[in-house]
Each structure stands twice: as C-alpha cells, then as structure tokens.
C-alpha cells in the first residue's frame, strides 16, 4: 500500500492547543505563497523561499533520534530553574531514555539522555570525549509549547523557539523543497512510503521507498499516556533538527513517529537507510538504540542541576545565531 504523507498528517501529531491549530493554517499559507515566490518573516528571521540545509551534507545524527526546543523571558527561566533546584521527588509517571546512535560501527557515534519530568522534557547531548560531560541541553516546556536550547559551557549561549515558530519554519523548508528541480529533494518534502503490514508479535514498523527506508522495533510502555508524551516530544525535536543546517527535513521522521504512536509503541531500535542517489553519493545507514527506564535515577539530579546553572548564566542570543544559520538567511529586527 502506497501512502502519501503530507502536511495534514504531520499537524495531527501535535494537537497541543489553539496555538498549534493556528499553525496549521499558517503552514498552508506558507506552502501556497512559496509557489508564488512570496517571503514570510518569522519572528527574528526570514528564510523566505530559500533552503538553508545543504542537501549535499549527510543527515545529522540527531534527526534520526528524534526526540524538542523553546521561547522564554528571564522570568520564565527563573520559574523553570526553581523546579530544577527544588529536587522534588520524581512523579510516578516520570521516566528516562538513554539513546546510542551508530553509523556502521560497533561503538556509538553519539549518545543522548532524555528525562521526562512532569511537564518538561530535558534532552542532554552527551560529550564522548569527557565522561559525564554535557555538550548541549534542550528543554521542552510542554505547558508553554516551546523549546529552550542551552549550548556547551565553552560557547555559553542559549536561545528560545516556540512550537508556532517551528511549524512556520519547517513549512518554509517544505515549500522550498517541494518546488526543487531535484526529485530526491522533492521526496524529502512530501515522502511517499510503502508501509509494510504491522507484525504485532515482532512489533516492527517498516516504511520503505527507493530513496529512504525506516525500520523500527517498538515496545509497549506501562502507561498509555507515555506514548503520547513521547510522540509530542519526538515530533517537536524532529522539527527542531529539521531547521539545523546540514540536516534533512523532518517529514519522513514525523511519519515514523505517527506510525509508532498509532500502534501504542515507543521506539526500542530505529534503523534509517538513505539510498545512494542525487542527494547522497553513497548509501548511508544510521541506527539508534533506545533504553527506557520507567523512573528517574538519583544521579539524574546532577543533569538537572547543570541545566539550571546554564539557564541562569548563559547569554541569550537569537535562534539564527545559536543555530549558526548562513548570514543571508538570518535577518535581525
């Protein structure tokens, strides 16, 4: 069975209030206007009809892992910091996910720790060069529908993005890719997959095409609500990584997230295969392994303390500066 995955399906994965429902209309407007060459100004930056992700670059590792980012004033940062420093007992439905990413190697090339605590998700990009070091932190603030990004201590900056901004920006990415002369690029904008019949025993989901294939094995969490919490985070995180220079658009990954949630699963292992073609000179296969623990550990407080420290001391910058977009694509107010 061939199934087209379009913008409507993606919007269904993040029904989180009026702001997101409004974003659906905005995305449609941007897609239509892009065909006419009209530009849209989003927050502090304007990407117009231009694509700022170089398709000649390999897909970013974090796009595969898909789990987030942003918008806050100083007072909001203080409120989150208070939550962190309180070190309150973890709720019964809090949980953690350890993720290892492999690129045709036995040793992981990237590692992540994701903590789901109350209405927040804390995603830590771990630094392999130094034990227990944290390269970057992303905080997904569910009630306020935003992400906060905290850089490494060496860089010392932070930024903010709302889900509305992410929807608008990824709509522009999709609009530009959809009118590309390259068939591979157009596929990334509106993926069409052959969805293999689901095997409830193996719990494997396979989305295949001649350009890109996902194969995912899932697990059933102890609470049904966890599926929804994870999907919301994974969708936002995929969109965030979709606007990072060098990464692929998020739409194929959003489809995988939707399929996992539809079967009541969270991912245990995901294999992503990009077939050689115009976009990539050779076949690339990336595999992620996810270890869920249905409670937080005492040592996790150290990571939360690190997030608290960075929020209170790091310099605030605009998203274009934080994400290092090309200068021609960033327009300051």
| pTM, 2 dp | 0.75
Helix (H, G, I), strand (E, B) or coil at 263: coil
Decide if 250 contacts 63 (C-beta within 8 A): yes
Comparing 8-12, 137-141, 232-236, 326-330, which segment has the lowest mean pLDDT? 8-12
pLDDT computed for residue 59 by the predictor = 31
The residue ranking higher by pLDDT, 176 or 233, is 233
Comparing 57-71, 261-275, 295-309, which segment has the lowest mean pLDDT? 57-71
Residues of the chain with pLDDT > 90, as a percent, come to 56
**Tens digits of residue pLDDT in 62-96:** 333 333 333 333 444 444 544 554 444 556 689 99
The residue ranking higher by pLDDT, 186 or 204, is 204
Q: Using the predicted structure, report yes or no on whether residue 13 has a pLDDT greater than 70.
A: no
**Tens digits of residue pLDDT in 92-133:** 689 999 999 998 777 899 999 999 999 999 999 998 766 668
Spell out the residues 6+ positions from residue 288 whose beta carbon is closer than 8 angstroms to its own.
64, 65, 99, 100, 101, 102, 267, 269, 270, 272
């Amino acid at each position: 069975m061939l199934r087209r995955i379009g913008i409507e399906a993606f919007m269904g994965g993040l029904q989180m209030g009026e702001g997101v429902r409004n974003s659906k209309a905005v995305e449609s407007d941007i897609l239509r206007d892009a065909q006419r060459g009209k530009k849209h100004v989003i927050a502090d930056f304007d990407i117009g009809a231009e694509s700022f992700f170089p398709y000649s670059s390999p897909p970013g590792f974090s796009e595969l892992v898909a789990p987030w980012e942003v918008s806050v004033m100083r007072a909001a940062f203080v409120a989150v910091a208070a939550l962190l420093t309180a070190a309150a007992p973890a709720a019964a439905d809090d949980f953690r996910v350890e993720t290892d990413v492999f690129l045709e190697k036995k040793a992981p090339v990237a590692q992540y720790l994701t903590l789901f605590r109350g209405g927040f998700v804390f995603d830590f990009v771990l630094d392999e060069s130094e034990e227990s070091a944290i390269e970057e932190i992303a905080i997904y603030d569910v009630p306020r529908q935003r992400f906060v990004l905290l850089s490494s201590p060496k860089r010392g900056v932070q930024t903010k993005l709302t889900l509305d901004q992410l929807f608008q920006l990824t709509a522009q990415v999709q609009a530009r890719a959809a009118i590309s002369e390259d068939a591979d690029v157009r596929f990334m904008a509106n993926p069409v997959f052959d969805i293999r019949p689901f095997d409830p025993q193996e719990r494997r989901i396979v989305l295949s095409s001649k350009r890109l294939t996902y194969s995912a094995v899932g697990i059933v969490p102890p609470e049904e609500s966890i599926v929804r919490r994870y999907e919301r985070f994974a969708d936002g995180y995929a969109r965030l990584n979709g606007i990072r220079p060098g990464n692929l658009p998020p739409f194929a990954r959003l489809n995988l997230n939707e399929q996992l949630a539809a079967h009541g699963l969270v991912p245990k292992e995901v294999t992503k295969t990009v077939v050689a073609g115009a976009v990539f000179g050779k076949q690339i296969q990336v595999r992620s392994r996810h270890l869920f623990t249905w409670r937080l550990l005492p040592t996790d407080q150290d990571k939360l303390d690190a997030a608290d420290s960075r929020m209170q001391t790091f310099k605030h910058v605009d998203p274009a500066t934080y994400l290092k977009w090309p200068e021609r694509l960033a327009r300051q107010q």
